[in-house]
Structure 1
Amino acid sequence: MLLHILHHVDAISYPLTPFPVPASSPQFSPIDPFSTDMPAFSPGIQSGEDEHNQKDSHKKVFIVIIVASSALGVVILSLLCFWIYHSMCPSKSNRKNVQSSDAEKGLTLVPFLSKFSSIKIVDMKGSVPIVDYKQIEKTTNNFHESNILGEGGFGCVYKAHLDHNLDVAVKKLQCETQNAQREFENEVNLLSKIQHPNIISLLGCSSDGDTRFIVYELMHNGSLETQLHGPSHGSALTWHMRMKIALDTARGLEYLHEHCHPAVIHRDMKSSNILLDSNFNAKLSDFGLAITDGSQSKKNIKLSGTLGYLAPEYLLDGKLTDKSDVYAFGVVLLELLLGRKPVEKLAPAQCQSIVTWAMPQLTDRSKLPSIVDPVIKNTMDLKHLYQVAAVAVLCVQPEPSYRPLITDVLHSLIPLVPIELGGALRVSRSADPPGKSPHS
């Protein structure tokens, strides 16, 4: 570009401005070259004046050239700076976009935690704050059993009070094995890059010897498993509330499958990993076993998960895809619908899965209402009940290709959830007889 500009400038001719005639100069009339009356001048005087005029002329031309060259140099320099600026701008813009994108995904947690003066951040693990271990120990009352919220494969989850405005959940992991350490690092790395309303928020982590700690937002209503199969047996969960929980869970899964790049397979979808906040908003948790779709390691991964939620192709052949999560979601949907556990004992050495037990009755409209959880029996529009049962049946199909994408499941559930709970259903104010559809 610069060479082109210079070439263009060389081709420009600059006209020389006529020199002004001094006011005191005598006026001469035209002289006839053949006139014999021409006065005689001394050759020496004539040539001296010519030489003086010529030098003066050259000097003025030289000044004009210098001024023109300077102006040209300024123009060329300006064009060069303009070109460099525009060449550099896109990369700066991209960097700003990346930084803002990271902020949206929750990668920078220090500003959030700095709002709470009692939280001591001692270091950073990548983009994740490391919270002072002594503080965690103190605020859990030295991990007293009265503060236990739940138990997992590698340890317990405790309630901690880090600030007068902030109650949190702390997962304590005994990382004496490589598997435990790998799960800890996997969960921290994944959750540090994710921010979604239906996925648990990571607030920080900590360590003490072989023990690792992960700090999350506190979910006041515990897990879906506890709500359904604990002392209350689902009494706090109405039909519409259960549909909302299913919809929230589907939204979280859709984010992992469709909006993360590369896609994330949760690999441990179950009711105990669906947590509920004070308003019963559902969020996916426990990403220790999650993997990114397309990674080479997934072909040789060790079989992991929970019996009753494992898809047949994964359990029998080790084949893992996003459809494995869809199968597990179908099992959760059956739990919400029927109020039964994913696996129930029939005898000391015999178990039966909810899928095996329910499948023949789910497709029979005459039998379906009788197997619904007694807590919600006769409280829903029967057409909606049949639709949910149909979605569940599709999700737990033995053949993965017959299962829907989680996006399709999501769109099927939205019309069944009231608008005020995040869906699209307009609930009729009229009091309809139990079990009767207002549209029939």
Structure 2
Amino acid sequence: MCEALDIHHTFTVNQIENGDIICFQKRPKSCNQHLYPSVKLFLEHVHKLTKEGRKICALEEEIVEFRRLSDLNIAANLECTQLRHERDNAILQVDEFRGQNDLVRLQIEEAKKECDQLRHELDNAMRQIDALLNQNTVGRIQIEEAKMECSQLKHERDNAVRQVDELWDRNSQFILEFRFTCLEQATEHFKDLCKIGDTEYGCVYKGIINNTTVAIKLSKSESLFQQEVSVLRQGGRHANIVTFVGMCSEVSALVYEWLPKGNLEDRILCADDTPPLSWHIRTQIIREVCCALLFLHSHKPNASVHGDLRPCNILIGADYRSKLYNFGMSTLFLQPGSCPPNLTSRLPYTDPEFLTIGDLTPLSDVYSLGVIILRLLTGMPPLAITKKVREAFRSDNLHLLIDKSAGDWPYTQAKQLALLGLRCVEMTREKRPDLTEVWTVVEALVRKPPAPSCPAHFICPILQEIMNDPQMASDGFTYEAEAIRRWLDGGSNRSPMTNLALPNRVLIPNRALRSSIQEYLQASVAKAVSSLNLNL
């Protein structure tokens, strides 16, 4: 007899007798009667259910297998479609490559034809060269004609330069006017970080206007501003005078070109751990200052006198080219009975006769130039420098005073500069040399003599040396590549020869001139070797 048990009922092992079978049947909650009165019927039912369950499981497995096969079939169809698509793309690419191959073949054929044409033209050119070589007389005539044409072009160029100068003089009254807001933007509202100097003439700031770095000077007073504008209107343009860009009348400000190397005083003192100036650069600076003074003194009807020529008023560009600054302004400070600012720094450069007579002349600038020459030569402070150099010169100990940081300064040149500087700083004007005489001495010292019998057009106008890599600039002149690139990279956009604006910065290799120079140098070497062999 099968007895129903509570599923939650618990019993011990002792309560289970041998042969008892405990079965659990899940039934609806609503059913209160026993479905199976005996274990046998229950087990038979379970056995039947197991066979049916197995069949169901088998069918379910077949269904799962069919689904898997169906998925595989779908995936295979998709892959087949993808492969067909890739096949079609591959066919298209093959067709495209075939087309490109045909195009390449056509290009190769055209290149072969062009090569044949070039060979033909080369043969014609060689025949023409042979014909020209056989016509030496005609070639000489053409060279003479070319020289005459070159001379004519130079004459026309000189006329053009004169015309430009005349136009500049006519338009010298026109000065670019800037708004104050423009200067504020350029200097970030005159931030202290942009301030680079403060002198008796005004505060100077570094700024950027239209992507160009400039120097902006706020004049100390309206009278200084008006005086400087007046001087700039009467002056002119020169390669060794700071270029005036414009002004702002609202705040009495003037805008100049930016020269990144600062002033000569700082360079002599090696301020901010800058390297010392070489003797080559120092002699070049002396030459450039002298050239600028000649320009100022040549003004008609009255010569322009700088009046405050000191190293702090000589600015240095990126290429170590020097330019005068603050010229013609000293008359506002040097009135009779007045005490000018910075008297201690001015006095060593001031003409002694001016202190007694009260007038400035070109020879006053010559005195200041003499002190600058002695400073560049010795690197010493300006106070009592004349006495020290004169004593060393008389005792033949000049070599002890020459600034060693400038390098191996040729003693002959150093001695000539010392003598020239001492002549310039004579107490009376009548004993000082004229600036033209100073220029003659300085120009001879700076200019490097070319090789004997060397053609003049082999010499670089900047370096005064035979060129190794001649490059023609847009001004029509040929320069050594390194020299003209340094000139352009220094921010200059004007011709080193004419001071006119360069149309562009393009440099063209002058291969014909380079070949001529190489032939000349090879011939010179061969001649030197032959002479040496004869001497041996």
Same fold (TM over 0.5): yes
Pick the aligned partner of 2:355 from 288, 311, 315.
Answer: 315
Residue 358 of structure 1: SS of its match in structure 2?
Answer: helix
Aligned AA (2:213): D
| Distance in structure 1 (CA, Å) of the matches to 2:183 and 2:206 | 10
Cα offset for 1:226? 1.0
Q: Give the RMSD, CA atoms, in angstroms.
A: 3.0
**Residue number in structure 2 paired with 1:118:** none
Cα offset for 1:150? 2.0
**Residue number in structure 1 paired with 2:282:** 242
Residue 198 of structure 1: SS of its match in structure 2?
Answer: coil
Q: Is 1:169 aligned to residue 199 of structure 2?
A: no
Q: Label 1:267 to 1:368 Cα distance change in 2 as closer, same or farther (>3 A).
A: same
Cα deviations across residues 165-195 of structure 1 (Å, max 9, x unaligned)?
A: x1110111131xxxxx332222212223311
Q: Label 1:132 to 1:301 Cα distance change in 2 as closer, same or farther (>3 A).
A: farther
**Residue number in structure 2 paired with 1:10:** none
**Residue number in structure 2 paired with 1:375:** 405
Aligned AA (1:149): I
**Residue number in structure 2 paired with 1:185:** 226
**Residue number in structure 2 paired with 1:415:** 444
Cα offset for 1:155? 2.4
Cα contact 1:227–1:236 (8 A) shared by 2: yes
Pick the aligned partner of 2:312 from 253, 260, 272.
Answer: 272
**Residue number in structure 2 paired with 1:72:** none
| Distance in structure 2 (CA, Å) of the matches to 1:261 and 1:274 | 26
Aligned AA (1:168): V
**Residue number in structure 2 paired with 1:139:** 186
Q: Is 1:103 aligned to residue 145 of structure 2?
A: no
Cα deviations across residues 52-110 of structure 1 (Å, max 9, x unaligned)?
A: xxxxxxxxxxxxxxxxxxxxxxxxxxxxxxxxxxxxxxxxxxxx9998544334945xx
Which entry has the higher C-alpha Rg, 1 or 2? Answer: 2
**Residue number in structure 2 paired with 1:284:** 324
| Distance in structure 2 (CA, Å) of the matches to 1:394 and 1:381 | 20
Q: Is 1:206 aligned to residue 248 of structure 2?
A: yes
| Distance in structure 1 (CA, Å) of the matches to 2:216 and 2:359 | 33
| Distance in structure 1 (CA, Å) of the matches to 2:279 and 2:417 | 11
Q: Label 1:364 to 1:149 Cα distance change in 2 as closer, same or farther (>3 A).
A: farther
Pick the aligned partner of 1:196 from 220, 238, 243.
Answer: 238
| Distance in structure 2 (CA, Å) of the matches to 1:400 and 1:425 | 37
| Distance in structure 2 (CA, Å) of the matches to 1:363 and 1:254 | 31
| Distance in structure 1 (CA, Å) of the matches to 2:435 and 2:385 | 21
Cα offset for 1:327? 0.3
Aligned AA (1:362): F
Aligned AA (2:224): E
Cα deviations across residues 16-61 of structure 1 (Å, max 9, x unaligned)?
A: xxxxxxxxxxxxxxxxxxxxxxxxxxxxxxxxxxxxxxxxxxxxxx
**Residue number in structure 2 paired with 1:14:** none
| Distance in structure 2 (CA, Å) of the matches to 1:221 and 1:213 | 22
| Distance in structure 2 (CA, Å) of the matches to 1:202 and 1:315 | 31
Aligned AA (2:180): Y
Cα offset for 1:232? 5.6
| Distance in structure 1 (CA, Å) of the matches to 2:294 and 2:201 | 28
Residue 207 of structure 2: SS of its match in structure 1?
Answer: strand
Cα contact 1:235–1:375 (8 A) shared by 2: no
Pick the aligned partner of 1:256 from 281, 296, 313.
Answer: 296
Identity of aligned residues (%): 27
Cα contact 1:191–1:287 (8 A) shared by 2: no
Aligned AA (1:388): L
**Residue number in structure 1 paired with 2:198:** 151
Cα deviations across residues 316-364 of structure 1 (Å, max 9, x unaligned)?
A: 3324221111000111111111112223xxxxxxxxx322333212344
Q: Label 1:97 to 1:391 Cα distance change in 2 as closer, same or farther (>3 A).
A: closer
**Residues 364-403 of structure 1 mapped to structure 2, 5 A cutoff:** 364-365=395-396, 367-376=397-406, 379-403=408-432
| Distance in structure 2 (CA, Å) of the matches to 1:319 and 1:288 | 13
Cα contact 1:417–1:424 (8 A) shared by 2: no
Cα contact 2:216–2:254 (8 A) shared by 1: yes
**Residue number in structure 1 paired with 2:385:** 354
Q: Is 1:128 aligned to residue 175 of structure 2?
A: yes
TM-score (norm 2): 0.50
Q: Label 1:190 to 1:257 Cα distance change in 2 as closer, same or farther (>3 A).
A: same
Cα offset for 1:259? 4.2
Q: Label 1:102 to 1:214 Cα distance change in 2 as closer, same or farther (>3 A).
A: farther
| Distance in structure 2 (CA, Å) of the matches to 1:241 and 1:231 | 17
| Distance in structure 2 (CA, Å) of the matches to 1:288 and 1:182 | 13
Identify, as 1 or 2, the structure richer in helix: 2
Q: Label 1:252 to 1:422 Cα distance change in 2 as closer, same or farther (>3 A).
A: farther
Cα contact 2:307–2:328 (8 A) shared by 1: no
Q: Label 1:311 to 1:243 Cα distance change in 2 as closer, same or farther (>3 A).
A: same
| Distance in structure 2 (CA, Å) of the matches to 1:416 and 1:147 | 39
| Distance in structure 2 (CA, Å) of the matches to 1:229 and 1:100 | 40
Residue 405 of structure 2: SS of its match in structure 1?
Answer: coil
**Residue number in structure 1 paired with 2:91:** none
Q: Label 1:154 to 1:380 Cα distance change in 2 as closer, same or farther (>3 A).
A: closer
Cα contact 1:173–1:213 (8 A) shared by 2: yes
Cα offset for 1:149? 2.3
Pick the aligned partner of 1:340 from 356, 369, 380.
Answer: 380
Q: Label 1:98 to 1:249 Cα distance change in 2 as closer, same or farther (>3 A).
A: closer
Residue 287 of structure 1: SS of its match in structure 2?
Answer: coil
